[in-house]
C-alpha cells in the first residue's frame, strides 16, 4: 500500500430511524442498512479517525483481525439536508454467531463484574490473570498497546467481544470502534488550544482504568514486549493518507498525533517487525 487518497461516500438516511447504542457517550446515532453499520459523528471527527486508524492497522499488519471503516457524509433522505460526517463498516459478525463481551466472561468466573471494576491497574490485571485464559490475556495486552499508540479511550469491556460458532468454538471478535482515538473528541480534548501533552494527561486506558503514564509503567513492570508493526509501510501510507472533502487542518492534525505517538513509543510499546 502506497499513498491512500479516499473519496467520501454520500449516504441518504431517515433521521428518525436510528439506533443509539454503545458509543463514546452511549448516544452516537447509528443506522443498520443491509449489512452496513453507519455512524454519524457526535463529538468531533470520529468517522475520519475510524478510517485513519483502520488504514493504520492495515498498513502496520497488526496481529489481530479488525473492522475496516470508510468515511461517509450523512444526508436526510427526505430533504437532502446535510446531517453530518461519519463512517460505515460491515458487521464483525456476518455469520450471526453467539456474540458476547468481556463483562460476561468475568461474570461467569469466580469474580463479579462489580468486584473487578472496583479495582484498577495492576490489581485489576491480577484478577484478569486469575480468571482469563492465557491466549486472551496476551490479546488484551496487545490491544492495550495498540490503544496506547492510537490513544483510544473507549475500549470499555463491551468493546472487547467474542464470537462462538455452532460447534462451541470461541474466538475474539475483530477489533472495532476506534472513533474515540487520536483526541477526536474536541470537547474532551481541546488539542488545538492545549496541545498534545495536556490532552494525553486526560487519556484513560479503559481496560485497566489508568492514565497514560500509569499504562506505560504497567507495561514496564510486567515486562510486556513491544508489539511488531510494519513501521516502514505505516509511515509511507499514513504520510500520504488524505480524504477528499476534509480540510487541510483535519487531514494534518490526526496524522500528526499518530506520528507523535509512533515516534515516542518506538522501541518500547512497538518495534519494527
In the numeric block, the cell 447509528 is attached to 30
The larger pLDDT score, comparing residue 159 to residue 84, is at 159
Per cent of the chain over pLDDT 70 is 91
Q: What is the mean pLDDT of residues 181-208?
A: 95
CA 209 from chain centre, in angstroms, equals: 16
How do residues 125-184 score in pLDDT, each as one tens digit?
Answer: 999 999 999 999 999 999 999 999 999 999 999 999 999 999 999 999 999 999 999 999
How do residues 230-254 score in pLDDT, each as one tens digit?
Answer: 999 999 999 999 998 899 999 999 9
Tell me what pLDDT residue 84 has.
Answer: 87
20-24, 61-65, 186-190 — most confident range: 61-65
Q: What is the mean pLDDT of residues 6-12?
A: 66
The larger pLDDT score, comparing residue 5 to residue 34, is at 34
* Separation between Cα atoms, residue 19 and residue 227, nearest integer Å: 36
The chain-wide mean pLDDT, for the chain, equals: 91
Within 13 A of 51's CA, how many CA atoms are on the CB side? Answer: 26
Q: Where is average pLDDT lowest: 48-57, 78-87, 98-107?
A: 78-87
In this predicted structure, the answer to whether residue 80 has a pLDDT above a threshold of 70 is yes
* Separation between Cα atoms, residue 9 and residue 75, nearest integer Å: 11
Best CA proximity match to 149, nearest among 66, 271, 29, 251: 271
The larger pLDDT score, comparing residue 36 to residue 209, is at 209
3-class secondary structure per residue, the chain? CCCCEECCEEEEECCCCCEECCCCCCCCEEEEECCEEEEECCCECHHHHHHHHHHHHHHHCCCCCECCEEEEEEEECCCCCEEEEEEEEECCCCCCCEEEEHHHHHHCCCCCHHHHHCCCHHHHHHHHHHHCCHHHHHHHHHHHHHHHHHCCCCCCHHHCEEEECCCCCEEECCECCCCCCCCCECCCCCHHHHCHHHHHHHCEECCCCEEHHHHHHHHHHCCCCCEEECHHHHHHHHHCCEECCCCHHHHHHHHHHHHHHHHHHECCCEEEC
Tell me what pLDDT residue 13 has.
Answer: 65
Residues 6 or more apart whose Cβ sits within 8 Å of residue 1:
58, 59, 233, 237
Amino acid at each position: 500500500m502506497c499513498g491512500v487518497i479516499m473519496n467520501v461516500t454520500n449516504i441518504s438516511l431517515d433521521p428518525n430511524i436510528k439506533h443509539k447504542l454503545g458509543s463514546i457517550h452511549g448516544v452516537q446515532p447509528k443506522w443498520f442498512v443491509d449489512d452496513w453499520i453507519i455512524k454519524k459523528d457526535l463529538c468531533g471527527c470520529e468517522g475520519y479517525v475510524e478510517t485513519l486508524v483502520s488504514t493504520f492497522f492495515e498498513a502496520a499488519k497488526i496481529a489481530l483481525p479488525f473492522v475496516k471503516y470508510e468515511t461517509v457524509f450523512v444526508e436526510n433522505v427526505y430533504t437532502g439536508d446535510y446531517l453530518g460526517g461519519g463512517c460505515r463498516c460491515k458487521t464483525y459478525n456476518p455469520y450471526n454467531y453467539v456474540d458476547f463481551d468481556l463483562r460476561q466472561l468475568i461474570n461467569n468466573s469466580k469474580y463479579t463484574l462489580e468486584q473487578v471494576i472496583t479495582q484498577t491497574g495492576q490489581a485489576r490485571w491480577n484478577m484478569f490473570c486469575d480468571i482469563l485464559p492465557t491466549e486472551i490475556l496476551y490479546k488484551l495486552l496487545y490491544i492495550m498497546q495498540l490503544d496506547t499508540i492510537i490513544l483510544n479511550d473507549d475500549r470499555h469491556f463491551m468493546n472487547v467481544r467474542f464470537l462462538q460458532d455452532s460447534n462451541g468454538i470461541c474466538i475474539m471478535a475483530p477489533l472495532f470502534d476506534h472513533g474515540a482515538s487520536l483526541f477526536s473528541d474536541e470537547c474532551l480534548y481541546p488539542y488545538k488550544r492545549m496541545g498534545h501533552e495536556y490532552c494525553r494527561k486526560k487519556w484513560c486506558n479503559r481496560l485497566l482504568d489508568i492514565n497514560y503514564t500509569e499504562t506505560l509503567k504497567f507495561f514496564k513492570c510486567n515486562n510486556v514486549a513491544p508489539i511488531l508493526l510494519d513501521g516502514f509501510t505505516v509511515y509511507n501510507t499514513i504520510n500520504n493518507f488524505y480524504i477528499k472533502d476534509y480540510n487541510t487542518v483535519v487531514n494534518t492534525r490526526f496524522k500528526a498525533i499518530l506520528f507523535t505517538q509512533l515516534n515516542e513509543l518506538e522501541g518500547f510499546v512497538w518495534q519494527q517487525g
